[in-house]
Amino acid sequence: QQQVKQSPQSLIVQKGGISIINCAYENTAFDYFPWYQQFPGKGPALLIAIRPDVSEKKEGRFTISFNKSAKQFSLHIMDSQPGDSATYFCAATTSGTYKYIFGTGTRLKVLA
Amino acid sequence: DTAVSQTPKYLVTQMGNDKSIKCEQNLGHDTMYWYKQDSKKFLKIMFSYNNKELIINETVPNRFSPKSPDKAHLNLHINSLELGDSAVYFCASSPDSNRGYTFGSGTRLTVV
């Protein structure tokens, strides 16, 4: 019940296309869902996050869609660029538990 | 003015040795963490500290001992290193339990 399932494992998108990464969870106590971007040799960096009282959040080219009833959330990267090539992690946590449960990561490659 | 800094960045050592990794954050955050990223890039919580107090010890072997001398520092000491300890170790901090983390750039530990 503590797992966060992330798909796909890898993704190749043409420049200008839309990248979509999906995550699913079981624990309905989760109340914060962040996405992280990690470049090789670097630590993960917070990209965007959502709480379950909102169905969508947009920041620039990045959008989180959240479906509470389906217990799923997804990251959409619009107008994908080669500089977006990185590994993306979804995560989930419950307030007061002091830990994230991370998805297994998606390696995104955007072709020029 | 790095937000979360870890040292060293690389650590190569022999089995059986003892080593330490240091972490410092200048963000004024109350909570600090150690995460382990394995060869498949999976991120797993090891320890969480809030205001210098240990909150989470996620079934980590006793050979791993964290120490938080103050809110800005969280060090990790590892005794009797084993081959299976080879991984990238990330320090992170956050304002509280359900806000975004700021990760350090990681320490790649290789045990030979």
Among chain B, residues having any CB pair with chain A shorter than 8 Å are 4, 31, 33, 40-45, 48, 50, 55-56, 58, 90, 92, 97-106
What is the phi/psi pair of residue A33, to 5°?
-130, 95
pLDDT score of A1: 64
Instruction: Return the residue matching tokens 């494992």.
Output: A9
- Please give the pLDDT value at position B78: 97
Facing B103 at nearest CB: one of A44, A93, A94? A44
Closest CA to B2 of B27, B29, B21, B31: B27
Report whether pLDDT(A49) > 80: yes
The residue that leads in pLDDT, A63 or A97, is A63
Statement: residue A2 has pLDDT above 80: no
Cα–Cα distance between B41 and B44 in angstroms, integer?
A: 10
Instruction: Write down the pLDDT at residue B81.
Output: 97
Contact A93 B41 (CB under 8 A): no
For residues A10 and B102, what is the distance between their CA atoms, to the nearest angstrom? 25
pLDDT along chain B (112 residues), means of 10: 91 98 96 95 94 89 94 96 97 89 97 97
Distance from C-alpha of B3 to C-alpha of A49, rounded to nearest angstrom: 20
CA distance A109 to A24: 22
Mean pLDDT of the region A20-48 = 96
Mean pLDDT of chain A: 96
Provide the residue type at B112 as one letter.
V
